[in-house]
Amino acid sequence: MGQSVSSTFNNKNVGAGKTVTVNSITLSDGSNGGVASNYTISAGQTTTANITGKALSVSGITASNKTYDGNTNAPLDISSISYSGLVSGDDIGGSFSGTFENKNIGTGKTVTISSSYSGVDSGNYSFTDQASTTANITARSMTVSGLTASNKTYDATTSASLDTSNVSYAGLVSGDSFSGSYTGTFNNANVGNSKLVTISSSYSGDDLNNYTITDQTATGGSITKASPSISGLSAQSKFLDDANYTLTGSSSISGLTISYSSSDTNIANVDSSSSEVTINALGSTTISANISGTTNYNSASSSYILTIVLRPTTSSTPSQTATATATRSMNYNTSSGRNTVNRSNTSKLGSSISSGKIGIISSKAKVIILRPNSTPKTEGIYEFQVADKESTLNPPEDASEDFQRLGKIIGVTEYLIEISSLNVIYNYELEIRNGGILIKPKNSESFDYAELNKTTVIDKAIGVVQEDFGIPSFQIKTIVIDLLTSIAQN
Protein backbone atom coordinates (compact mmCIF):
# COMPACT_ATOMS: atom_id res chain seq x y z
CA MET A 1 0.00 0.00 0.00
CA GLY A 2 0.93 3.62 -0.43
CA GLN A 3 0.51 6.59 1.91
CA SER A 4 0.32 10.38 1.81
CA VAL A 5 1.21 12.29 5.00
CA SER A 6 0.38 16.03 5.67
CA SER A 7 2.31 17.78 8.48
CA THR A 8 3.18 21.38 9.65
CA PHE A 9 5.84 23.10 11.74
CA ASN A 10 4.63 24.93 14.78
CA ASN A 11 5.54 28.26 12.96
CA LYS A 12 7.36 29.41 9.84
CA ASN A 13 10.38 30.95 11.48
CA VAL A 14 13.95 29.74 11.44
CA GLY A 15 14.79 27.42 14.32
CA ALA A 16 16.33 24.07 15.31
CA GLY A 17 14.36 21.06 16.77
CA LYS A 18 11.09 22.64 15.89
CA THR A 19 7.89 20.56 16.51
CA VAL A 20 6.29 19.06 13.44
CA THR A 21 2.71 17.75 13.80
CA VAL A 22 1.17 15.09 11.47
CA ASN A 23 -2.09 16.50 10.33
CA SER A 24 -3.35 13.51 8.25
CA ILE A 25 -2.26 10.16 6.71
CA THR A 26 -4.03 8.96 3.60
CA LEU A 27 -3.56 5.30 2.46
CA SER A 28 -3.79 4.10 -1.10
CA ASP A 29 -4.07 0.58 -2.57
CA GLY A 30 -0.77 -1.02 -3.09
CA SER A 31 0.54 -2.76 -6.14
CA ASN A 32 0.79 -6.03 -4.19
CA GLY A 33 -2.89 -6.27 -3.72
CA GLY A 34 -3.26 -4.45 -0.45
CA VAL A 35 -6.58 -2.71 -0.06
CA ALA A 36 -6.38 0.71 1.64
CA SER A 37 -9.95 0.51 2.80
CA ASN A 38 -9.12 -2.32 5.09
CA TYR A 39 -7.07 0.04 7.31
CA THR A 40 -7.61 3.13 9.48
CA ILE A 41 -4.64 5.30 10.69
CA SER A 42 -5.05 8.09 13.22
CA ALA A 43 -3.30 11.56 12.75
CA GLY A 44 -1.70 13.82 15.42
CA GLN A 45 1.64 12.20 15.71
CA THR A 46 4.58 14.69 16.24
CA THR A 47 8.23 14.83 15.40
CA THR A 48 10.96 17.55 15.22
CA ALA A 49 12.88 19.24 12.41
CA ASN A 50 14.93 22.39 11.65
CA ILE A 51 14.17 25.53 9.59
CA THR A 52 17.36 27.27 8.40
CA GLY A 53 17.71 30.96 7.17
CA LYS A 54 17.01 31.63 3.52
CA ALA A 55 19.76 33.23 1.50
CA LEU A 56 18.90 36.79 0.44
CA SER A 57 21.16 38.98 -1.69
CA VAL A 58 20.86 42.82 -1.68
CA SER A 59 21.76 44.84 -4.79
CA GLY A 60 20.74 47.87 -6.82
CA ILE A 61 21.85 50.58 -4.35
CA THR A 62 23.55 53.57 -6.00
CA ALA A 63 25.30 56.70 -4.65
CA SER A 64 24.47 60.18 -5.91
CA ASN A 65 27.19 62.49 -7.20
CA LYS A 66 27.76 65.56 -4.99
CA THR A 67 29.54 68.94 -4.89
CA TYR A 68 32.49 69.11 -2.50
CA ASP A 69 31.27 69.97 1.00
CA GLY A 70 34.25 69.10 3.16
CA ASN A 71 32.96 65.72 4.44
CA THR A 72 32.82 62.06 3.27
CA ASN A 73 29.06 61.60 3.54
CA ALA A 74 27.62 59.93 0.41
CA PRO A 75 23.90 60.28 -0.33
CA LEU A 76 22.49 56.85 -1.45
CA ASP A 77 19.65 56.11 -3.87
CA ILE A 78 17.69 52.93 -2.94
CA SER A 79 14.85 53.45 -5.38
CA SER A 80 16.08 50.45 -7.43
CA ILE A 81 17.13 48.21 -4.54
CA SER A 82 16.66 44.45 -5.08
CA TYR A 83 16.23 41.72 -2.42
CA SER A 84 16.99 38.52 -4.35
CA GLY A 85 15.54 35.50 -2.42
CA LEU A 86 12.90 37.38 -0.49
CA VAL A 87 9.69 35.41 0.04
CA SER A 88 6.75 37.35 -1.29
CA GLY A 89 4.81 39.00 1.47
CA ASP A 90 7.56 38.82 4.06
CA ASP A 91 8.11 41.86 6.21
CA ILE A 92 11.70 43.06 5.66
CA GLY A 93 13.14 46.61 5.64
CA GLY A 94 16.69 47.89 5.11
CA SER A 95 18.61 50.99 6.26
CA PHE A 96 21.76 52.03 4.38
CA SER A 97 24.43 54.76 4.65
CA GLY A 98 27.30 55.60 2.29
CA THR A 99 30.78 56.95 2.95
CA PHE A 100 33.27 58.21 0.34
CA GLU A 101 36.84 57.02 0.76
CA ASN A 102 37.90 60.67 1.43
CA LYS A 103 36.40 64.15 1.19
CA ASN A 104 38.32 65.33 -1.87
CA ILE A 105 37.02 65.74 -5.40
CA GLY A 106 37.32 62.83 -7.82
CA THR A 107 35.56 60.67 -10.42
CA GLY A 108 34.38 57.09 -9.76
CA LYS A 109 35.25 57.31 -6.09
CA THR A 110 34.46 54.25 -3.95
CA VAL A 111 31.49 54.60 -1.63
CA THR A 112 31.33 52.05 1.17
CA ILE A 113 27.79 51.00 2.10
CA SER A 114 26.84 50.22 5.67
CA SER A 115 23.59 48.16 5.98
CA SER A 116 21.16 47.19 8.68
CA TYR A 117 17.80 45.33 8.40
CA SER A 118 14.52 45.26 10.22
CA GLY A 119 11.07 43.75 9.92
CA VAL A 120 9.24 40.73 11.40
CA ASP A 121 10.77 38.35 8.91
CA SER A 122 14.30 39.69 8.78
CA GLY A 123 15.56 36.96 11.12
CA ASN A 124 14.57 34.25 8.64
CA TYR A 125 17.15 35.32 6.05
CA SER A 126 20.86 35.10 5.62
CA PHE A 127 21.77 38.44 3.96
CA THR A 128 24.49 39.08 1.46
CA ASP A 129 24.96 42.88 1.62
CA GLN A 130 25.85 45.21 -1.22
CA ALA A 131 29.22 46.34 0.08
CA SER A 132 29.94 49.39 -2.12
CA THR A 133 29.19 51.50 -5.13
CA THR A 134 30.86 54.48 -6.86
CA ALA A 135 30.09 58.20 -7.32
CA ASN A 136 31.76 61.55 -8.15
CA ILE A 137 32.65 64.58 -5.98
CA THR A 138 32.85 67.74 -8.09
CA ALA A 139 34.69 71.01 -7.23
CA ARG A 140 32.90 73.64 -5.17
CA SER A 141 32.53 77.18 -6.51
CA MET A 142 34.23 79.96 -4.56
CA THR A 143 34.11 83.73 -5.27
CA VAL A 144 36.79 86.10 -3.98
CA SER A 145 35.80 89.72 -3.18
CA GLY A 146 36.47 92.55 -0.73
CA LEU A 147 40.00 93.43 -1.85
CA THR A 148 40.73 97.18 -1.95
CA ALA A 149 43.72 99.23 -3.08
CA SER A 150 45.35 101.84 -0.86
CA ASN A 151 45.79 105.34 -2.24
CA LYS A 152 49.41 106.37 -2.68
CA THR A 153 51.63 109.33 -3.47
CA TYR A 154 53.14 109.37 -6.93
CA ASP A 155 56.38 107.36 -7.04
CA ALA A 156 56.80 106.77 -10.81
CA THR A 157 55.79 103.09 -10.47
CA THR A 158 52.52 101.24 -11.10
CA SER A 159 52.72 99.12 -7.95
CA ALA A 160 49.59 99.20 -5.79
CA SER A 161 49.33 98.15 -2.16
CA LEU A 162 46.27 95.98 -1.53
CA ASP A 163 44.24 95.82 1.68
CA THR A 164 43.14 92.22 2.32
CA SER A 165 41.67 92.82 5.78
CA ASN A 166 38.11 92.53 4.42
CA VAL A 167 38.68 89.79 1.83
CA SER A 168 35.71 87.44 1.43
CA TYR A 169 35.79 83.82 0.21
CA ALA A 170 32.16 83.08 -0.64
CA GLY A 171 31.69 79.29 -0.74
CA LEU A 172 34.70 78.33 1.40
CA VAL A 173 33.91 75.44 3.75
CA SER A 174 34.61 76.32 7.37
CA GLY A 175 37.84 74.81 8.61
CA ASP A 176 39.36 74.19 5.18
CA SER A 177 43.04 74.94 4.61
CA PHE A 178 43.04 77.76 2.06
CA SER A 179 44.73 81.14 1.63
CA GLY A 180 45.30 83.72 -1.10
CA SER A 181 48.16 86.00 -2.15
CA TYR A 182 47.46 89.15 -4.16
CA THR A 183 49.35 91.89 -6.01
CA GLY A 184 47.92 95.09 -7.43
CA THR A 185 48.99 97.11 -10.46
CA PHE A 186 47.74 100.58 -11.44
CA ASN A 187 46.89 100.97 -15.13
CA ASN A 188 49.70 103.57 -15.31
CA ALA A 189 52.03 105.44 -12.95
CA ASN A 190 50.47 108.88 -13.30
CA VAL A 191 48.41 110.88 -10.81
CA GLY A 192 44.67 110.30 -10.97
CA ASN A 193 41.53 109.56 -8.96
CA SER A 194 39.73 106.21 -8.90
CA LYS A 195 42.27 104.62 -11.21
CA LEU A 196 41.93 101.02 -12.34
CA VAL A 197 43.99 98.60 -10.25
CA THR A 198 44.35 95.10 -11.76
CA ILE A 199 44.60 92.27 -9.20
CA SER A 200 46.75 89.19 -9.74
CA SER A 201 45.89 86.25 -7.48
CA SER A 202 47.51 83.01 -6.38
CA TYR A 203 46.23 80.47 -3.86
CA SER A 204 47.59 77.76 -1.59
CA GLY A 205 46.44 75.31 1.05
CA ASP A 206 45.69 71.59 1.40
CA ASP A 207 42.12 72.03 0.18
CA LEU A 208 42.88 74.30 -2.78
CA ASN A 209 42.10 71.67 -5.45
CA ASN A 210 38.57 71.15 -4.14
CA TYR A 211 37.45 74.58 -5.41
CA THR A 212 36.76 76.31 -8.67
CA ILE A 213 37.74 79.93 -7.89
CA THR A 214 36.32 83.11 -9.39
CA ASP A 215 38.97 85.77 -8.79
CA GLN A 216 38.41 89.43 -7.96
CA THR A 217 40.11 90.86 -11.00
CA ALA A 218 40.19 94.60 -10.23
CA THR A 219 39.50 97.44 -7.82
CA GLY A 220 40.14 101.20 -7.77
CA GLY A 221 42.66 103.51 -6.12
CA SER A 222 44.04 107.03 -6.40
CA ILE A 223 47.54 108.39 -6.94
CA THR A 224 48.12 111.87 -5.53
CA LYS A 225 50.85 114.34 -6.45
CA ALA A 226 54.23 113.99 -4.76
CA SER A 227 55.44 117.02 -2.78
CA PRO A 228 59.15 117.71 -3.15
CA SER A 229 61.11 120.00 -0.86
CA ILE A 230 64.24 122.04 -1.46
CA SER A 231 67.22 121.93 0.89
CA GLY A 232 70.79 123.15 0.88
CA LEU A 233 70.07 126.90 0.87
CA SER A 234 70.59 129.33 3.76
CA ALA A 235 71.01 133.06 4.35
CA GLN A 236 74.36 134.39 3.15
CA SER A 237 76.42 137.55 3.29
CA LYS A 238 78.90 138.28 0.51
CA PHE A 239 81.45 141.02 -0.19
CA LEU A 240 80.77 143.22 -3.17
CA ASP A 241 83.98 142.08 -4.85
CA ASP A 242 83.41 138.35 -4.21
CA ALA A 243 83.49 136.07 -7.22
CA ASN A 244 80.32 134.66 -8.69
CA TYR A 245 79.12 131.48 -7.06
CA THR A 246 76.74 128.65 -7.99
CA LEU A 247 73.62 127.75 -6.01
CA THR A 248 73.54 124.13 -4.87
CA GLY A 249 70.00 123.51 -3.68
CA SER A 250 68.80 119.93 -3.88
CA SER A 251 65.36 118.40 -4.31
CA SER A 252 64.08 115.71 -1.95
CA ILE A 253 62.92 113.88 -5.09
CA SER A 254 65.68 113.17 -7.56
CA GLY A 255 65.40 114.25 -11.16
CA LEU A 256 63.44 117.47 -10.59
CA THR A 257 64.82 120.75 -11.91
CA ILE A 258 65.30 123.70 -9.54
CA SER A 259 65.09 127.20 -11.00
CA TYR A 260 66.43 130.26 -9.19
CA SER A 261 65.60 133.96 -9.24
CA SER A 262 66.56 137.17 -7.45
CA SER A 263 64.01 139.66 -6.13
CA ASP A 264 66.36 142.54 -6.91
CA THR A 265 68.60 141.93 -9.89
CA ASN A 266 70.29 145.29 -9.27
CA ILE A 267 71.82 143.72 -6.14
CA ALA A 268 72.43 140.23 -7.56
CA ASN A 269 71.07 138.17 -10.42
CA VAL A 270 70.94 134.42 -11.08
CA ASP A 271 71.71 132.78 -14.41
CA SER A 272 68.72 130.57 -15.21
CA SER A 273 70.74 127.90 -17.00
CA SER A 274 73.83 127.62 -14.78
CA SER A 275 72.35 128.75 -11.40
CA GLU A 276 75.35 131.10 -11.07
CA VAL A 277 74.87 134.18 -8.88
CA THR A 278 76.42 137.44 -10.06
CA ILE A 279 76.95 140.14 -7.41
CA ASN A 280 76.13 143.62 -8.70
CA ALA A 281 75.70 146.12 -5.83
CA LEU A 282 75.43 146.67 -2.08
CA GLY A 283 72.19 145.77 -0.36
CA SER A 284 70.04 142.70 0.11
CA THR A 285 67.91 140.57 -2.21
CA THR A 286 65.80 137.47 -1.79
CA ILE A 287 67.12 134.46 -3.68
CA SER A 288 64.22 132.12 -4.48
CA ALA A 289 64.45 128.48 -5.51
CA ASN A 290 61.47 126.92 -7.24
CA ILE A 291 60.38 123.54 -8.54
CA SER A 292 57.54 123.93 -11.01
CA GLY A 293 54.41 121.88 -10.46
CA THR A 294 53.65 119.18 -13.03
CA THR A 295 50.98 116.57 -13.60
CA ASN A 296 52.63 114.35 -11.01
CA TYR A 297 54.41 116.82 -8.69
CA ASN A 298 53.33 119.75 -6.56
CA SER A 299 55.40 122.87 -6.85
CA ALA A 300 57.97 123.68 -4.17
CA SER A 301 59.84 126.82 -3.20
CA SER A 302 62.49 128.01 -0.80
CA SER A 303 64.17 131.38 -0.32
CA TYR A 304 66.87 133.11 1.65
CA ILE A 305 68.26 136.60 2.07
CA LEU A 306 71.53 137.44 0.32
CA THR A 307 73.24 140.52 1.80
CA ILE A 308 76.04 142.27 -0.11
CA VAL A 309 78.50 144.47 1.86
CA LEU A 310 81.81 146.24 1.29
CA ARG A 311 84.99 144.41 2.11
CA PRO A 312 86.61 146.02 5.21
CA THR A 313 90.26 146.88 5.57
CA THR A 314 90.47 144.49 8.54
CA SER A 315 89.99 140.76 8.28
CA SER A 316 86.43 139.71 8.95
CA THR A 317 83.72 137.59 7.44
CA PRO A 318 80.94 139.09 5.28
CA SER A 319 78.40 138.47 8.03
CA GLN A 320 80.56 140.28 10.58
CA THR A 321 81.01 143.12 8.13
CA ALA A 322 77.27 143.27 7.45
CA THR A 323 76.64 143.76 11.15
CA ALA A 324 79.44 146.30 11.51
CA THR A 325 78.28 148.26 8.47
CA ALA A 326 74.67 148.27 9.63
CA THR A 327 75.47 149.38 13.18
CA ARG A 328 77.42 152.05 14.89
CA SER A 329 78.50 152.32 18.50
CA MET A 330 75.74 152.01 21.12
CA ASN A 331 77.73 153.59 23.94
CA TYR A 332 76.22 157.01 24.41
CA ASN A 333 73.85 158.90 26.74
CA THR A 334 70.91 161.00 25.56
CA SER A 335 70.14 164.11 27.60
CA SER A 336 66.58 165.34 27.91
CA GLY A 337 66.46 168.40 30.20
CA ARG A 338 67.94 167.22 33.45
CA ASN A 339 67.50 163.56 32.65
CA THR A 340 70.02 161.21 31.04
CA VAL A 341 68.76 158.20 29.06
CA ASN A 342 71.06 155.16 29.19
CA ARG A 343 69.79 152.39 26.88
CA SER A 344 70.25 148.69 27.46
CA ASN A 345 68.29 145.59 26.47
CA THR A 346 67.65 142.17 27.97
CA SER A 347 67.12 138.83 26.27
CA LYS A 348 64.04 136.65 26.66
CA LEU A 349 65.86 134.99 29.57
CA GLY A 350 66.49 138.33 31.18
CA SER A 351 70.28 138.37 30.85
CA SER A 352 72.05 141.58 29.91
CA ILE A 353 72.98 141.83 26.25
CA SER A 354 74.39 145.27 25.53
CA SER A 355 73.98 148.96 26.08
CA GLY A 356 74.21 152.02 23.86
CA LYS A 357 72.74 153.02 20.53
CA ILE A 358 72.75 151.21 17.21
CA GLY A 359 73.13 153.15 13.99
CA ILE A 360 71.83 151.98 10.69
CA ILE A 361 72.42 152.13 6.96
CA SER A 362 70.17 154.97 5.89
CA SER A 363 66.66 153.75 5.06
CA LYS A 364 63.05 154.42 5.96
CA ALA A 365 60.16 152.61 7.63
CA LYS A 366 56.46 153.30 8.06
CA VAL A 367 55.35 153.91 11.71
CA ILE A 368 51.86 152.89 12.86
CA ILE A 369 50.51 153.66 16.36
CA LEU A 370 47.70 151.46 17.65
CA ARG A 371 45.37 153.58 19.80
CA PRO A 372 41.99 152.96 21.48
CA ASN A 373 38.95 153.94 19.39
CA SER A 374 41.12 154.76 16.41
CA THR A 375 41.64 153.10 13.03
CA PRO A 376 45.32 152.16 12.56
CA LYS A 377 47.07 154.30 9.98
CA THR A 378 50.51 155.60 9.14
CA GLU A 379 51.46 158.34 11.64
CA GLY A 380 55.00 158.93 10.51
CA ILE A 381 58.00 157.88 8.49
CA TYR A 382 60.95 156.84 10.64
CA GLU A 383 64.28 157.46 8.88
CA PHE A 384 67.36 155.54 9.92
CA GLN A 385 70.51 157.63 9.64
CA VAL A 386 74.15 156.92 9.03
CA ALA A 387 77.16 158.16 11.00
CA ASP A 388 76.23 160.29 14.03
CA LYS A 389 73.06 161.83 12.68
CA GLU A 390 69.93 161.44 14.79
CA SER A 391 67.07 159.35 13.53
CA THR A 392 63.91 161.28 12.69
CA LEU A 393 60.18 160.67 12.68
CA ASN A 394 58.62 162.74 9.93
CA PRO A 395 54.95 163.18 8.93
CA PRO A 396 53.81 160.73 6.25
CA GLU A 397 53.49 161.93 2.69
CA ASP A 398 49.99 160.40 2.59
CA ALA A 399 48.31 160.48 6.03
CA SER A 400 45.44 158.34 4.77
CA GLU A 401 47.70 155.42 3.87
CA ASP A 402 46.19 152.17 5.18
CA PHE A 403 47.74 150.10 7.91
CA GLN A 404 49.30 146.90 6.58
CA ARG A 405 49.36 144.03 9.05
CA LEU A 406 52.66 142.40 9.93
CA GLY A 407 53.40 138.77 9.07
CA LYS A 408 54.16 135.81 11.31
CA ILE A 409 56.41 136.12 14.38
CA ILE A 410 60.11 135.38 13.84
CA GLY A 411 61.24 136.05 17.41
CA VAL A 412 60.29 137.75 20.70
CA THR A 413 62.50 139.57 23.20
CA GLU A 414 62.36 142.40 25.77
CA TYR A 415 64.43 145.55 26.15
CA LEU A 416 64.85 148.33 28.71
CA ILE A 417 65.35 152.11 28.55
CA GLU A 418 66.88 153.42 31.77
CA ILE A 419 66.83 157.08 32.87
CA SER A 420 69.54 156.95 35.52
CA SER A 421 68.94 160.40 37.00
CA LEU A 422 65.34 159.51 37.85
CA ASN A 423 66.16 155.91 38.65
CA VAL A 424 63.44 154.91 36.18
CA ILE A 425 63.46 151.92 33.84
CA TYR A 426 60.98 151.55 31.00
CA ASN A 427 60.23 148.02 29.83
CA TYR A 428 59.10 146.94 26.38
CA GLU A 429 58.27 143.66 24.64
CA LEU A 430 59.52 143.43 21.07
CA GLU A 431 58.12 141.08 18.40
CA ILE A 432 60.17 140.62 15.26
CA ARG A 433 57.81 139.69 12.43
CA ASN A 434 57.89 139.22 8.70
CA GLY A 435 57.90 142.74 7.29
CA GLY A 436 58.69 144.68 10.45
CA ILE A 437 58.53 144.93 14.24
CA LEU A 438 55.84 145.33 16.92
CA ILE A 439 56.68 147.27 20.16
CA LYS A 440 54.51 146.72 23.26
CA PRO A 441 54.93 148.75 26.50
CA LYS A 442 54.98 146.40 29.50
CA ASN A 443 53.41 148.83 32.00
CA SER A 444 51.64 152.19 32.22
CA GLU A 445 54.88 154.17 32.77
CA SER A 446 56.42 152.63 29.64
CA PHE A 447 53.14 153.36 27.85
CA ASP A 448 53.37 157.08 28.69
CA TYR A 449 57.07 157.27 27.81
CA ALA A 450 56.50 155.69 24.40
CA GLU A 451 53.73 158.16 23.60
CA LEU A 452 56.10 161.09 24.20
CA ASN A 453 59.40 159.60 23.01
CA LYS A 454 58.61 157.47 19.97
CA THR A 455 61.92 158.02 18.21
CA THR A 456 63.93 156.98 21.28
CA VAL A 457 61.81 153.84 21.80
CA ILE A 458 62.16 152.92 18.10
CA ASP A 459 65.92 153.62 18.09
CA LYS A 460 66.42 151.15 20.88
CA ALA A 461 64.18 148.49 19.23
CA ILE A 462 66.08 148.75 15.95
CA GLY A 463 69.35 148.16 17.79
CA VAL A 464 67.97 145.06 19.52
CA VAL A 465 66.72 143.63 16.22
CA GLN A 466 70.18 144.10 14.71
CA GLU A 467 72.15 142.73 17.63
CA ASP A 468 69.85 139.94 18.86
CA PHE A 469 68.62 138.66 15.53
CA GLY A 470 71.23 139.81 12.99
CA ILE A 471 68.60 141.42 10.78
CA PRO A 472 69.90 144.51 8.92
CA SER A 473 67.69 147.45 9.75
CA PHE A 474 67.16 148.34 6.10
CA GLN A 475 65.00 145.21 5.91
CA ILE A 476 62.53 146.68 8.44
CA LYS A 477 59.77 148.40 6.48
CA THR A 478 56.97 148.69 9.08
CA ILE A 479 57.17 149.66 12.78
CA VAL A 480 54.08 149.27 14.98
CA ILE A 481 53.85 150.71 18.52
CA ASP A 482 50.96 149.09 20.38
CA LEU A 483 49.30 151.63 22.70
CA LEU A 484 46.07 149.66 22.59
CA THR A 485 46.37 146.19 24.08
CA SER A 486 45.95 145.25 27.73
CA ILE A 487 49.66 144.71 28.18
CA ALA A 488 50.14 148.45 27.84
CA GLN A 489 47.36 149.35 30.21
CA ASN A 490 48.28 147.22 33.26
Given a cut of 50, whether residue 340 has pLDDT beyond it is no
- Report whether 362 contacts 383 (CB < 8 A): yes
pLDDT of residue 332: 30
Q: What pLDDT, in 10s, does the model give residues 261-299?
A: 999 999 999 998 899 999 998 888 999 999 999 999 999
pLDDT of residue 360: 41
Q: What pLDDT, in 10s, does the model give residues 168-209?
A: 999 999 999 999 999 999 999 999 999 999 999 999 999 999
Confidence label for 258 from pLDDT (cuts 50, 70 and 90): very high
Phi, psi of 339 (to 5 degrees): -100, 145
Q: What pLDDT, in 10s, does the model give residues 473-485?
A: 778 889 999 988 6
- CB neighbour burial string for 410-440, b if at least 16 within 10 angstroms, e if fewer: eeebbbbbbbeeeeeebbbbbbbbeebbbbb
- C-alpha–C-alpha distance, residues 488 and 447, integer Å: 6
Confidence label for 343 from pLDDT (cuts 50, 70 and 90): very low
Given a cut of 60, whether residue 143 has pLDDT beyond it is yes
Mean model confidence pLDDT for the chain: 84
Given a cut of 80, whether residue 382 has pLDDT beyond it is yes
pLDDT of residue 190: 97
Given a cut of 80, whether residue 306 has pLDDT beyond it is yes
- C-alpha–C-alpha distance, residues 255 and 257, integer Å: 7
Given a cut of 70, whether residue 324 has pLDDT beyond it is no
Given a cut of 60, whether residue 326 has pLDDT beyond it is no
**Cα separation values, 212 from 67, 110, 284, Å:** 11, 23, 75
Given a cut of 50, whether residue 330 has pLDDT beyond it is no
Least confident range from 267-271, 357-361, 416-420: namely: 357-361
pLDDT of residue 335: 32
**Cα separation values, 70 from 102, 139, 174, 206, Å:** 9, 11, 8, 12
Least confident range from 173-182, 363-372, 393-402: namely: 393-402
Q: What pLDDT, in 10s, does the model give residues 5-59?
A: 788 888 878 888 888 888 878 878 777 766 777 777 777 788 888 888 899 999 9
pLDDT of residue 481: 93
- Pick 142 or 33 by higher pLDDT: 142
Ranges of each domain in the chain? 2-51, 55-138, 141-224, 234-322, 327-488
pLDDT of residue 49: 85
Q: Choose the CATH number for 234-322 among 3.30.470.20, 3.40.50.1440, 2.10.109.10, 2.60.40.10.
A: 2.60.40.10
pLDDT of residue 386: 56
- Pick 157 or 468 by higher pLDDT: 157
pLDDT of residue 409: 85
Confidence label for 435 from pLDDT (cuts 50, 70 and 90): confident
- CB neighbour burial string for 330-339, b if at least 16 within 10 angstroms, e if fewer: beeebeeeee
pLDDT of residue 1: 65
Which residues pair with residue 314 across a beta bridge? none
Q: What is the mean pLDDT of residues 436-447?
A: 92
* SS3 per residue for 307-357: EEECCCCCCCCHHHHHHHHHCCCCCCEEEECCEEEEEEEECCCCCEEEECC
